[in-house]
Amino acid sequence: MKLYISFRLRQTATIFLGTAIAGLLAACSYTYEPPRPCDLPVTVSYQAHILPILKEQCYSCHSADKYKTETSSTLNMEDFASLKYYATPANGRDNVSYLIGNIRHAPGFQPMPKDGQKLSACEIALIQAWVDAGAPEN
């Protein structure tokens, strides 16, 4: 009888532990999120978040008055349709948009800002989130 109880106990403990570990693993796989470089807003806004970065870091070469004059022959960022074209993964390389590949300095892309400092991890994450949302003009 004693033997039986301790066997039952061990069995119960094993089942309990097993369940706990499985539960933990399941919890981990469902709640795990890769570390973020900054807190992203729930909805990334083109006007509030993206445009200020582009104005600050890119318009010196990609604004309407620079387009087809001195610095850029392909991309006038003030023309939203043109920006959206370059933000669209299907128009890029291996389904990575030129906008993202360029700011990430990915192999095979032209590092942007040209001859300048790479954007901060937070700025890149914001632009990535905006592109992932379909690059809306919001």
Q: Which residues bind ligand HEC (CB under 6 A)?
A: 57-58, 60-62, 71-75, 86, 98-99, 102-103, 110, 112-116, 119
Residue 138 corresponds to which tokens in the numbers above? Answer: 């919001």
- Could you check whether the bond before residue 41 is cis, i.e. omega within 30 degrees of 0? no
11/74 with CB nearer ligand HEC: 74
Q: Smallest distance from the beta carbon of 13 to ligand HEC, in angstroms?
A: 58
Q: Smallest distance from the beta carbon of 138 to ligand HEC, in angstroms?
A: 18
73/95 with CB nearer ligand HEC: 73
Distances (CA, A) of 95 to 10, 91, 101: 54, 7, 10
The burial of 58, by beta-carbon neighbours within 10 Å (0-12 exposed, 13-18 middle, 19 or more buried), is given as buried
10/68 with CB nearer ligand HEC: 68
